[in-house]
């Protein structure tokens, strides 16, 4: 039991010392981590800009669809009025057929 406790204590001490010494100087892993962080930030900004541009394009597309629908409705209304005028005939009498 004393050997296990002593071995565990020594292992803990060595690991703690290695961790403390390893954290004092930035290494390649920490530098790579910083570069990854910067890349992720750049991607987030790019994605946000792309989403905003896509939203604007969708809004413009919706406006164009709405304008086209209004034009179609006006055409249908005009055609319906013309048909009604044709059905009444030149004497103003509505024919049953």
Mean pLDDT, the chain, integer: 78
* CA pair distance 37, 28, nearest whole angstrom: 14
Q: Residue 77 has what pLDDT?
A: 84
* CA pair distance 73, 95, nearest whole angstrom: 27
| pTM metric for this prediction | 0.43
Q: Using a pLDDT cut of 90, give the percent of the chain over it.
A: 14
For 37-76, how does the pLDDT look when each residue is reduced to its tens digit (9 = 90+)? 888 888 888 888 888 888 999 999 999 999 999 998 988 8
- Spell out the domain ranges in the chain: 39-82
Q: Residue 13 has what pLDDT?
A: 75
* CA pair distance 38, 30, nearest whole angstrom: 12
Q: Residue 64 has what pLDDT?
A: 93
Three-state DSSP at 23 gives coil
* CA pair distance 61, 78, nearest whole angstrom: 26
């Amino acid at each position: 039991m004393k050997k296990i406790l002593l071995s565990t204590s020594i292992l803990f001490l060595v690991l703690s010392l290695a961790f403390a010494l390893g954290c004092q100087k930035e290494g390649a892993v920490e530098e790579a981590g910083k570069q990854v962080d910067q890349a992720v930030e750049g991607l987030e900004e790019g994605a946000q800009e792309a989403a905003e541009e896509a939203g604007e394009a969708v809004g413009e597309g919706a406006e164009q669809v709405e304008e086209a629908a209004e034009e179609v409705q006006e055409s249908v209304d005009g055609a319906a009025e013309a048909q009604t005028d044709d059905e009444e005939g030149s004497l103003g009498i509505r024919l049953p057929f």
